[in-house]
Structure 1
Amino acid sequence: MNTDRRCGPWLIIAGVVAALVLGIATTMLLAGTGTLRHGAPAAWRAQGARCSAPALPGKVVDVTVSDMGPGMMGGTPGGHGMRTMRLAARPATVSAGAVSLQVVNTGATAHEVVVLPLPSGQGVGERPTGPGGKVNEAGSLGEASRTCGTGEGHGITPGAMGWTTLTLRPGRYELVCNLPGHYLAGMYTELDISR
């Protein structure tokens, strides 16, 4: 019997385990250095960011978008349990009125943040996706997807910022990255607007 055939599946399993361990170790390292916490934008700017947001009106919400880098983003359709990408907002609750999203991309690929109302009874990450791995943006209130600028663009490139200012009423909103496959890979969070 050919021993190469018996070793093949074990090599694949060993490679997957090694990639998973590396991903967990990278996430722990980023968390330990503060890259995944509220202070990420300041730390990120200290590392020589390409741009920064101007003084923004209203309540400012710091949004960090990130991923595990090349080779670690094998997000598969329906893979909700394995969050290989991340979108975090701080604070998670602000009062109604002018709200500015200041988005920092600490990942290795382009990302965006689209603001969608969250229907009653629906949780974050529960929107259906189409064949392209994107959610329906009908009802979007705006987005930050322009590198080093405000509003819509073609995605915020790695090491850059984007921002937008919206007038939001009290309620629940879902912030999503709607680039193909990113929502399925875990790029969503809730933003609550109080009275």
Structure 2
Amino acid sequence: MWLVIAMAAALVLGLATTAFLAATGAFRATRPASTQGARCSAPPSAARVVDVTVDDMGRMMRGPGGPTPTGGRPGWHGMGMMRLVANPSTVSAGKVTLRVANRGALTHEVVVLPLPAGQVSGERAVGSNGKVDETGSLGEASRTCGAGSGDGIAPSATGWSTVTLQPGRYELVCNLPGHYAAGMYTELDVRR
């Protein structure tokens, strides 16, 4: 009996999450026509490099596993619809270049936010616009085939940003509407 109730609750939660993401536009491809099919790579950097991969369920649905995206792989959060993974997840303080590779079917971005003491990634409040507050942002990679901010990184493309980070904990997030709630966040630890 409890199994049936749990399965029904999971189904309702999944449908509600999908409806929320559809309402906020999370499933719309927003790349400009001029960047369709863009393939590029970040230039070499003299700074420490963190390779960030952003991905979404769109690409996974076409894979051999059907519509089930992850099977519990590390880096997938929430309902497993989207993910953001940083490698390495710990770097030394100073200049850090984030090289963001979009492996998904949707446009994405990466914003660097300080992570308050006692808070873990994924706990930020999501506003009615489907986004988290970017107050205190230290930079972002959201330009297809370029550095800094823009209109998002198109599928199969790369964007990058170099930021100066002090020792501490940071959260890397995709802050396009609905993407954070769908699991696009990870922690980056910066050591002395």
**Please, which runs of 5 or more residues in structure 2 have no aligned partner?**
1-10, 15-36, 62-66, 68-76
Tell me the TM-score normalised to structure 1 length: 0.70
1:57 and 1:112 map into 2 onto residues whose CA distance is 22
The one-letter code sitting in structure 2 at the alignment partner of 1:56 is S
Percent identical across equivalent pairs? 69
Tell me the TM-score normalised to structure 2 length: 0.71
Q: How does 1:1-195 map to 2 (within 5 A)?
A: 50-69=39-58, 81-195=78-192
Deviation at 1:58, TM superposition (A): 1.0
1:182 and 1:49 map into 2 onto residues whose CA distance is 22
Q: Secondary structure at the match of 1:69?
A: helix
1:150 and 1:158 map into 2 onto residues whose CA distance is 16
The one-letter code sitting in structure 2 at the alignment partner of 1:119 is P
1:49 and 1:89 map into 2 onto residues whose CA distance is 22
| 4+ long deviations beyond 6 Å | none
Q: Is the 8 A contact 1:97 1:169 kept in 2?
A: yes
Q: Is the 8 A contact 1:57 1:165 kept in 2?
A: no
Deviation at 1:81, TM superposition (A): 3.0
Kindly indicate whether structure 1 or structure 2 has the higher relative contact order, using CA contacts under 8 Å at least 6 residues apart. 2
User: Deviations 1:69-120 (Å, cap 9, x if unpaired)?
Assistant: 0787xxxxxxx73120000000000000010000000000000000000000
2:78 and 2:50 map into 1 onto residues whose CA distance is 26
Could you tell me which residue of structure 2 aligns to residue 34 of structure 1? Answer: none
Matched positions, count: 144
1:49 and 1:95 map into 2 onto residues whose CA distance is 32
1:49 and 1:149 map into 2 onto residues whose CA distance is 11
User: Deviations 1:137-158 (Å, cap 9, x if unpaired)?
Assistant: 0000000000000000010000
1:67 and 1:177 map into 2 onto residues whose CA distance is 11
1:147 and 1:49 map into 2 onto residues whose CA distance is 8
| Superposition CA RMSD, Å | 2.1
**Please, which runs of 5 or more residues in structure 1 have no aligned partner?**
1-12, 17-47, 73-79
The one-letter code sitting in structure 1 at the alignment partner of 2:40 is C
Q: Is the 8 A contact 2:38 2:154 kept in 1?
A: no
Q: Residue 51 and residue 81 in structure 1: after superposition, are their counterparts in 2 closer, same or farther (change >3 A)?
A: closer
2:57 and 2:146 map into 1 onto residues whose CA distance is 24
The one-letter code sitting in structure 2 at the alignment partner of 1:133 is G
Deviation at 1:49, TM superposition (A): 6.9
